[in-house]
A and B are shown apart, each in its own frame.
Chain A
Amino acid sequence: MTASCYSYYPGCSLQHRSHAYQQSTEAIARSLGFELAEIDDWNCCGATEYFSVNRLPAYALVARNLALAADQGAEEIVVPCSACFLNLHKTDKNMKLYPELGSKVNKALAAGNLHYEPGTVKVRHLLEMILTDIGVDRLKDRTRRPLYGLKLAPYYGCLVARPDSVFDSTEQPTAMDKMLEALGAQVVPFSLKTFCCGGHMTQISEETALDMIHRIIKCAADSGADALVTLCPMCQLNLDVYQEAANRYFETSYQVPVLFFTQVIGVALGLSPKELGFGQEFVDARVLLDKIQDVPPPRATPARRSKQALPMPAMPE
């Protein structure tokens, strides 16, 4: 396997509902020159529910993917979905941490002639891989259509940021913010970066779910964002598909498109919106493309503070 070829676990969402994530991931991979080799015969990670229903089979279900990846010679796997990422990462970690669990899982895997030695396969989120291996500087160099004038709210969700953050901070990560800025976009201050989108709460208590969704949409709109940028199919689904339901429930009329970060990178790389899966979303994101300007907008002068105003603490780099 060459350095720029990654073993890839797409997860179920990307095959179905979140096809735009898959399409845009493939498109930017082609453009940036890395390959994604899908693990042969992978299966569902069990999403967020299975672990609370029956833990051992849930671990075994996830571990099967790790075992397959290891058998197919992978030292690391790249995962675009936050839930898949968390499950794979957690299984690898807990099998090592609790050897008894590890041996039970391996007993189950043995039925399919598989075995997984925890620690063999490093589980990586697609965003972390792009930020680390490709890097913000190279993305900036490769940018053909800078996202001038676009105001974006970076939304990390809860699964990737916590509990073992792969980014700079569990509570207020800034890794994706820096990337979006490098692509020319303006990142708005967004307090609910790592707030939960509700996950599958829509199926359990719709009112609760709509409240959570509404909060995030409102916060993004209040911050002046043109769109939310996500890195998780679940978050994208909740915020996009249920936005209309939330509007109805709260008697609001928000129209905040919800993009995958890969779509945003793709636009900046100059790829066609169709190739990036634009148009598949419920809240039309194509309007964003018209907002992109040819020249960087003049730097907004910070609101004039009164003469008596006290200085803000200077943020460390």
Chain B
Amino acid sequence: MSEPRVGVYVCHCGHNIAGTVDVQHVAEWAMGLPNVVIARDNRFMCASTGQEQIEEDIKQFELTHVVVASCSPHMHEKTFRNACARAGLNPYLFEMANIREHASWVHPNDREGATNKAKALVSAAVHRVVHQQPLEPMKVDIRPETLVVGGGIAGIQAALEIADAGYHVYLVEREPSIGGHMAMFDKTFPTLDCAACILTPKMFDAGGHPNITLLTYSEVEKVDGYVGNFQVRVRKKARMVDESLCTGCGTCWEKCPIKVVDTVWEAGLGYRKAIYRPFPQAVPKYPVIDIENCTYFKTGKCRMCEKVCPTNAINYEMQDEIIDLEVGNIILATGYKLFDARRIPQYGYGRLENVFTSLEFERLTNASGPTEGKIVLRDGETMPQTVAIVHCVGSRDRNYNTHCSAICCMSSLKFAHLVMEKTGAKVYNFYIDMRPIHKGYEEFYHRIMEEGATFIRGKVSEITDVARSPEEEGKLIVVCEDTLLGRQRRVPVDMVILAAGLEPQADAQEIAHMFGVGCGDTGFFIERHPKLDPVATMTEGVFIAGACQGAKDIPDSVAQGAAAAARVLGTINQRQVTLEPIRASIDEERCSGCRICNNMCPYNAIDFIEEKGVSRVNPALCKGCGTCVAACPSQVITGAHFTFEQIMAEIDGIMIDVLSDRPVVEAV
């Protein structure tokens, strides 16, 4: 084999790299590295001129390997691999040195140090690249079925988009009905149209769609496989109601003697029975028995629902069902959880009875809520004459959550409108900043101001029932510093609504782990790129949509649901997906059959071949993590693109003394 011929390209990335690293010097210096035949610096390697330079040089200098020193491979590895491929070079004979995130950006005040580090990183890549082997990517078929996890508005939208395009969707929801938080709302901002009127048509569409299999009261338990071929195990919890017989007539929950506070669909403000349908427009329409509160399941007696059911649909013997699905893509739309306002004890939620959360108020003002839409105090009858709405509860507060919950400004304005419209009460909004940023929002803010709501700028320090003057007696007093007035204020009111923030679901970490996605520091799922790839994740074939990605309102959730669906449809239409050929393989001649690697593999990708007495890697399941490579006591497992040779060469390269240009080992 002829001598390798390496081309090195050092990118300025505008000022991003060149502002700190002496790129010209790095390129000149790289000329002296072994096997390098050409080294250049370029303002933007990722621009077409940069790519064309690589292509020309491959031809002109007969390059056998290429190194680009620029940004993270997450950004442009694909770009440069494609450039190599266009010039007829196998893309895996290319290597990237990250001198931006790993040098210029992290050492902005040390030009000399950053330059030396960049040289070491380039040297590592040059030493490594000559050992790289041409690899061929694997192509696998994509199953056209899609799993959508979460039946809120984002999940429903995603499911409908894909189903309408003609592909099958499994929509999994852990509650007995789809609809999510939106199903609890009365009105939506800023148009004040009825939430149920715009949501329920979509719910019924999803419920009756020939391409959607609705799995409510179900949870995903296990996910295996990879893009195009996921194996998903779903537990469909026993409803104790036979869906094929039930007509949803309602006799069972009317007669059920057990009343339970409904902490899910009524936000704890109303009651349901032990056998219940979450709300009138629930999809599916069938009730479910809450076995923790049902007398029959607790004592073996009662059976009232069974007695009254006209179609004999009650089945106390029903067992959870395990359903195994095979899908090509997954969309997570698992939504949010409301901040627990009890964590701010000075706001008195749970202690002072007329302090409500935003979600409680949604139920209070909802015609199908516990008061049939009457806005009253906790006693269930008194209409408030003054109402305080406290913004940013648990949001934008480093004691609780640093993020802005995005919806509270607008929902607070909506509450102010509803209170004034329904009760004529005086409304005080306590805000720290108003952020009505989307279309029609600012106009809505002005409308509410014109309707007469008062806005006080200042963070509420305390809500107390201890009066200091006769007019405060019997009231809740909202204490805050009015930062526009520069004064402490005490505002006596009858009712307080806490605009509680949006948090990741309590089990977001477990969900993330199960589906191989990450959670950011606020706990929401991390997108592949915050600006340019907001619905994809670092795991191929797993997408995110709605409030599980970050606090957002209905329009944004719907947009993301549709966006995720578009991404899924894109991959389905490719029919095949290209997988990185970076896989482990076992030299079966030398494998002793000890099976240590079998249990080490986190993806269950290694099988033991009984008849031969050796282990074998299933390349479709292997993710190339390298665990088995390190574990094998006989050292007969090779990780393609990460061979011992390549890694040792890379270490040799990085250990070069960039000042003397001699390897560190030689110097020693």
Contacts and interface: CB of A to CB of B under 8 A. Distances in A.
Decide whether A and B assemble into one complex: yes
Given A172-B345, A305-B379, A306-B381, A312 B466 contact: no
Interface in A261-317: 305-316
Given A169-B345, A306-B381, A311 B271 contact: yes
Nearest to A222: B466
Interface in B172-214: none
Nearest to A316: B342
B587 interface: no
A172 B464 CA distance: 12
Given A310-B269, A311-B271, A191 B353 contact: no
Nearest to B271: A311
A7 B155 CA distance: 62
A192 interface: yes
Contacts of A315: 342, 350-351
Given A308-B380, A310-B380, A312-B378, A191 B268 contact: no
A189 interface: yes
A311 B269 CA distance: 6
Nearest to A313: B350
Contacts of B345: 169, 171-172
A314 B353 CA distance: 11
B270 interface: yes
Given A313-B350, A316-B342, A192 B466 contact: yes
Given A306-B380, A308-B380, A310-B370, A171 B268 contact: no
A308 B374 CA distance: 11
Nearest to B377: A310
Nearest to B363: A310
The A interface, classified by DSSP as helix, strand, loop or mixed, is loop
A234 to B, nearest CB: 21
A219 interface: yes
A219 B342 contact: no
B381 A314 contact: no
Contacts of B269: 310-311
A195 B461 CA distance: 13
B268 A311 contact: yes
B346 interface: yes
Contacts of B342: 313, 315-316
Contact of A313 (B349, B370, B466): B349
B466 A310 contact: no
Contacts of B379: 305-306, 308-310
Contacts of A309: 378-380
Interface string B424-468: 000000000000000000000000000000000000000011101
A141 B464 CA distance: 36
Contacts of A313: 268, 342, 349-350, 357
A215 interface: yes
Contacts of B268: 311, 313-314
Interface in B369-403: 370-371, 376, 378-381
B350 A310 contact: no
A197 to B, nearest CB: 14
Contacts of A219: 466
A171 B364 CA distance: 29
B261 interface: yes
A191 B350 contact: no
A207 to B, nearest CB: 14
The B interface, classified by DSSP as helix, strand, loop or mixed, is loop
A171 B370 CA distance: 32
Contacts of A311: 261, 268-271
A215 to B, nearest CB: 7
Contacts of B468: 215
B261 A191 contact: no
A316 B343 CA distance: 10
A305 B381 CA distance: 11
A312 B350 contact: yes
B465 A191 contact: yes
Given A309-B378, A309-B380, A314 B346 contact: no
Interface string B268-281: 11110000000000
A70 B585 CA distance: 64
Nearest to A195: B466
Nearest to A168: B345
Interface string A153-195: 0000000000000000101100000000000000001011001
B443 to A, nearest CB: 34
Given A172-B346, A308-B380, A314 B261 contact: yes
Contacts of A312: 350, 353, 378
Nearest to A173: B345
B348 to A, nearest CB: 8
B77 to A, nearest CB: 46
A310 B269 CA distance: 6
Contacts of B465: 191
B355 to A, nearest CB: 9
Contact of B351 (A189, A306, A308, A314): A189
Nearest to B267: A313
B351 A171 contact: no
- Of the candidates A189, A215, A311, A314, the one having the most CB atoms from chain B within 10 angstroms of its own CB is A311
Contacts of B350: 312-315
A191 B352 CA distance: 10
Interface in B548-577: none
A306 B379 CA distance: 7
Interface in A217-234: 219
Interface string B75-115: 00000000000000000000000000000000000000000
12 contacts: A172-B345, A191-B464, A215-B466, A219-B466, A305-B379, A306-B379, A311-B261, A311-B268, A313-B342, A313-B349, A315-B350, A315-B351
Interface of A: 169, 171-172, 189, 191-192, 195, 215, 219, 305-316
Interface of B: 261, 263, 268-271, 340, 342, 344-346, 349-351, 353, 357, 364, 370-371, 376, 378-381, 464-466, 468
Given A189-B351, A311-B261, 12 more contacts: A171-B345, A192-B466, A195-B466, A215-B466, A215-B468, A306-B379, A308-B371, A309-B378, A310-B370, A311-B268, A311-B270, A313-B350
Q: Which 10 residue pairs are nearest across A and B when measured between Cβ atoms?
A: A308-B380, A172-B345, A171-B346, A313-B350, A309-B380, A171-B345, A311-B261, A315-B350, A191-B466, A310-B378
